[in-house]
Copies of this chain bind each other. A is one copy, B any other.
Amino acid sequence: MTDQIKKEALEFARKYPISHLATVENGKPVIRVMSVPRIDDDFTIWYATSGTSNKVRQIKAQPGICSLFYNEGKTLRVFARAEIVDDQAVKDELWQEDWAQYFPKGKNDPNLAIIKAIPEHADYDDLSKSDVGLFELL
């Protein structure tokens, strides 16, 4: 059953690739809404952001993050250790055309930073399956 629920959770996150990402600064949480260009089968989540953003500074100081996807009564939550990945091949692969408004130099923009969130724990809730309750995925 876990494999089936994992599959449903991934399909859900890929259908609505918007997440709330929480980091910590000075011991207190900070949330922002971010699109998710990629989520891997093992629930590794990839984000693109500005290298000078608060979230990059926060992750470098304290890499624990929480990402939450919520829609249609479904909730996927991933607790992860985030890394800033400076790999041009990854930037090329994740690149989306509409990012050009933020990164005018494109895939090679020196301000483009990639966050890789490596999951440590994940859970999934689907209100339409209230008999299942909160499902521990990882």
| A31–B27 touching, CB < 8 Å | no
Interface members, chain A 104-119 (any B CB < 8 Å)? none
CB-CB < 8 A to A33: which residues of B? Answer: 68, 70, 75
Q: How far is the CA of A66 from the CA of B58 in the complex (A)?
A: 15
CB-CB < 8 A to A30: which residues of B? Answer: 22, 29, 66, 79
Interface size class of A (residues with CB under 8 A): 20 to 34
| A29–B65 touching, CB < 8 Å | yes
Interface members, chain A 57-109 (any B CB < 8 Å)? 62, 64-68, 70, 75, 77, 79
Q: How far is the CA of A66 from the CA of B20 in the complex (A)?
A: 12
| A29–B20 touching, CB < 8 Å | no
Interface residues of A, dominant DSSP: strand
Q: How far is the CA of A68 from the CA of B19 in the complex (A)?
A: 12
Residue of B nearest to A62 (CB): B27
| A23–B31 touching, CB < 8 Å | no
Which of A22, A31, A65, A67 is most buried by chain B, counting CB atoms within 10 A of its CB?
A31
Q: How far is the CA of A79 from the CA of B28 in the complex (A)?
A: 9
Q: List 12 A-B contacts (CB under 8 A).
A: A20-B31, A20-B68, A22-B30, A22-B31, A22-B66, A23-B29, A27-B27, A27-B64, A28-B66, A29-B65, A29-B66, A31-B66
